[in-house]
Structure 1
Amino acid sequence: MSTALDNGARAAADHPFRDRLLDGLASSINERGYRDTTVADIVRDARTSKRTFYEQFASKEECLIELLRRNNDNLIASIVAAVDPETDWRAQVRQAVTAYVDYISARQAITLTWIREAPALGAVAHPLHRTAMEHLTDMLVELTANPGFRRAGLAPVSRPLALIILGGLRELTALLVEDGHDLRGIIEPAITASEAVLGGR
């Protein structure tokens, strides 16, 4: 399960009760899903009070947005940490895709909430989605600028192509998560598509 403290640098700067509440929301999502989670469930799992909750968050929705923002930051950090920038670019693609699948597989309830519930929040969640895709795009551009890609004569991927790769990966993830399939089924199609786009420019 993802925890607020997974992202140590950012979490250290935040109020400790905020971290506990985010962990409480994550725990409740794993147990009963976001839609059936109440503020009472969150504070019970966090072992704190409603008063403390509302000192940190205006609503359950605001708490969810912060949880998903941190989850996305941690996903990016996990992928970057898994990739060896000196190795062959194809090996890097496999490392990145595998790290992505490992991360979301360990957090399927949060992933499902991101796919199903976040869009239902409407305009309030739009900045979260936009920022997440911008950061993921930045990550992909930076990874494809490393020594392994340069040695292969490959320029950094353009932002539009990076977005196409990420959008396809997100849709495939949504399909498998919603249908309850093994998420490792993402790995080979994602590697094949990524290599075709990155190597065929």
Structure 2
Amino acid sequence: MTTLDATASAPVATPAPEPRARLLEGMARAVASKGYADTTIADIVREASVSRRTFYENFADKAECLIALYELASGNAIGVLRAAIDPHSDWQAQVEQAMGAYFGVLMRNPVLLRTLFIEILGLGAPGLAARRRANQQLADLMLDVVNNRPGERLRKTPLQPAMAMAVVGGINEMVLQAIEQDRASELQELVAPAAALLRAAVFAEF
């Protein structure tokens, strides 16, 4: 099982060298089975089929391993999102296609999704920094799709970075709410409101 079950045909982050990659997959399997709080280093190394010594050669602790897993999973999900964009279609169609693919990847492993969206926030500054980097990647992709769309521009000024980040934050909050309400299997229902949120930001008047 690949991290967050990204499709094999989709572009993914550059594979980590062995045995680090095995440890990250081991972490993903352990967390998917038990959740982060109950996952131990013994669980991770057993799932990865490596030694405890190998773990500590790659990560200082369980939290550092989780951050690395989060970054890999985020890269994979964003790769799926990017691959779903048709550069020849209208930007609004591009956004809905991409969001459908993105939410589809996220909903395939609810336990891991909860860990990567909620428990990462419990790791303090390093976890928040990793979350911020992932959010910036999403905002940058959004800016590229909207501001470089084909055809006539529909507003005089392009979508601004602050507004793109606000949209990313809003989408994250919708995902978090779905997780907290045990509706992680229904993330596709967020495509329409997420697209509406972006349209509101694009056409906002300043």
Q: Flag the structure with higher helix content.
A: 1
User: Which ranges of structure 1 fall in alignment gaps of 5 or more residues?
Assistant: none
Q: How many equivalent pairs are there?
A: 198
Matches within 5 A, 1:24-103: 24-103=26-105
Given the alignment of the two structures, is residue 151 of structure 1 paired with residue 152 of structure 2, yes or no? yes
Say if 1:86 and 1:146, in contact at 8 Å, map to a contact too. no
Cα pair 2:30 2:43 within 8 Å, conserved: yes
Of 17, 20, 35 in structure 2, the residue corresponding to residue 18 of structure 1 is 20
Cα distance, 1:85 vs. partner? 1.4
When normalised by structure 1's length, the TM-score is: 0.89
Q: What displacement does 1:8 show?
A: 5.3
Give the counterpart letter for 1:186 in structure 2.
L
- What's the CA shift for 1:191? 1.9
How many percent identity over aligned positions? 35
Judge conservation of contact 1:89–1:152 (CA < 8 Å) in 2.
no
Residues 172 and 60 (structure 1), Cα distance of their counterparts in 2 relative to 1, 3 Å cut: same
Unaligned runs of 5+ in 2: none
Please tell me whether the aligned partners of residues 30 and 110 of structure 1 are also in contact (alpha carbons under 8 angstroms).
yes
Tell me the TM-score normalized by structure 2. 0.87
Deviation, 1:5, is: 10
Aligned to 1:195: 199
Is residue 183 from structure 1 mapped to residue 193 from structure 2 by the alignment?
no
Which aligned runs of 4 or more in structure 1 are off by greater than 6 angstroms? Answer: 4-7
Provide the rounded CA distance (Å) in 2 between the counterparts of 1:180 and 1:192. 23
Q: Render the CA deviation track for 1:11-59: whole Å, top value 9, x for unaligned.
A: 1xx3211000000000011111111000000011111110111111111
Q: Compared with structure 1, are the counterparts of its residues 8 and 171 closer, same or farther at alpha carbon in structure 2 (3 Å cutoff)?
A: closer
How far apart, CA to CA, are the structure 2 residues paired with 1:135 and 1:110?
20
- Return 23-32 or 133-142, whichever deviates more: 133-142
**How far apart in 2 are the matches of 1:157 and 1:173?**
23
Mapped contact 1:4–1:22 kept (Cα < 8 A): no
Rounded to whole Å, the distance in 2 between the matches of 1:107 and 1:199 is 35
The answer for the alignment partner of 1:120 in structure 2 is 122
The structure, 1 or 2, with the larger RCO (C-alpha pairs under 8 Å, 6+ apart) is 2
Partner-residue secondary structure (3-state), 1:61: helix
Q: Kindly provide the amino acid, as one letter, of the partner of residue 45 in structure 1.
A: E
Output the aligned Cα RMSD. Answer: 2.1
Indicate conservation of the 8 Å contact 1:97/1:187, yes or no: yes
SS at match of 1:151: coil
